[in-house]
Amino acid sequence: MFEYMNNSSILTTKPSADYELLDSGEGEKLERFGTVVLSRPDPQALWKKRLSPADWKKADGSFGTDVQNREKGERGDWNLKKTVPERWGISFADLKFYIKPTAFKHVGIFPEQAPNWNWMREQIKKGEGEIEILNLFAYTGGATIACAQAGAKVVHVDGSKVAIGWARDNAELSGLKDKPIRWILDDVRAFVKREIKRGRKYHGIIMDPPAFGHGAENEVWKIEDDFMDLIESCTEILADKPLFFLVNGYSAGYSAIAYKNNLLSLKDKFGGDIEVGELALEEAKGSMSEGRLLPCGIFARWSGK
């Protein structure tokens, strides 16, 4: 007898005016950010490319590592045309972001998160009174500024000073500079522990835990050692009537079901619903009858009634 998991979804980001997945395949993806086209590795793209090699060569920049370093997720080099600025702005998901190619192939935005941002906006609008949101491993602030735009007070925590500066620039670019956002450079575990002692409470918590990383003081984070304790600590700082709890995942080898299992206690305590699934980018259709989906990560999210 087969039993299928309820509330499993594929959240899909479609092409838009300033962002488009042009093609993918053979371990790479070709994307347009505004007017700039970039190609970079993507291990999930295990199929043939649709566009020709000549089309791919037209890209304004490409990222490369040797095979050994690519498998380790280590640094590589961008080959950029002289016309590519150091950074440039795009409009995306009713927000604005600075795009900048980095040494780890990232460019400062994860466009597959747009459906989650819309979902968080909806949850915040359901709330009453002053809504406070905590964003952990907050990177360049997509979720932070989406929540602030929806009217919430947000605490943005990350262990990278560069990422926080980038996030602040994105908030200003989006016209949200004066919104109530606290920018915290800290190890997320240490920060949450202090919030417990302070008696602080949040109506929503967001986290995007890496497989491995470092805090602001070079504290070592390992998901297999630290994730469960962090989740448990976070449940202690939820408000009496919380709105949501969202966990995103990009670490290879982990399932959305594993994240869901950590959220079951919230459903037992508060009711509500848990949804899990994959995040995906829809490829531009071109000559194809249907755009292919590029899997980008997993998510598990709980929402109250």
Given pLDDT bands bounded at 50, 70 and 90, which one contains residue 158?
Answer: very high
pLDDT given at position 2: 42
Q: Which residue has the tokens 């590589």?
A: 76
| Beta partners for residue 280, in sequence order | 12, 295
Q: Sheet harboring 19-25: ordered strands across?
A: 19-25, 28-33, 36-41, 61-64, 77-80
Residue 177, pLDDT above cutoff 90: yes
Three-state SS at 236: coil
CATH 3.40.50.300 fits 8-99, yes or no: no
Please give the CATH architecture assigned to the domain spanning 113-282+298-303: 3-Layer(aba) Sandwich (3.40)
Calculate the average pLDDT of the chain: 92
pLDDT given at position 285: 82
Q: What is the largest CA-CA distance in the chain?
A: 60
Tokens of 223: 């998901």
Report d(CA 233, CA 277) in Å as an integer.
Answer: 24
| Beta partners for residue 32, in sequence order | 20, 37
Given pLDDT bands bounded at 50, 70 and 90, which one contains residue 8?
Answer: confident
209-222 per-position pLDDT tens digit: 987 676 777 788 77
Tokens of 179: 């919104």
226-250 per-position pLDDT tens digit: 899 999 999 999 999 999 999 999 8
Distances (CA, A) of 300 to 186, 206, 221: 24, 10, 21
Q: Are 102 and 108 in contact (CB under 8 A)?
A: yes
21-50 per-position pLDDT tens digit: 999 999 999 999 999 999 999 999 999 999
Instruction: Tell if the pTM clears 0.85, that is, is over it.
Output: yes
Report d(CA 52, CA 176) in Å as an integer.
Answer: 41
Cα within 13 Å of Cα(90), Cβ side = 23
The single-letter code of the amino acid at 297 is G
Backbone angles phi, psi at 22, to 5 degrees: -80, -40
Three-state SS at 291: coil
Domain with CATH 2.60.40.1180 in the chain: 8-99
Residue 289, pLDDT above cutoff 70: no
Class of residue 12 by CB neighbours under 10 A (exposed 0-12, middle 13-18, buried 19+): middle
Q: Could you count the other beta carbons within 10 Å of the beta carbon of residue 142?
A: 26
DSSP secondary structure of 24-64: EETTEEEEEETTEEEEEE-TT--S--SS-HHHHHT-SEEEE
Instruction: Flag the least confident range among 10-19, 149-158, 251-260.
Output: 251-260
Domain with CATH 3.40.50.150 in the chain: 113-282+298-303
Three-state SS at 95: strand
Report d(CA 262, CA 114) in Å as an integer.
Answer: 23
Q: Is 173 left (phi over 0), alpha (psi -120 to 50) or beta?
A: alpha
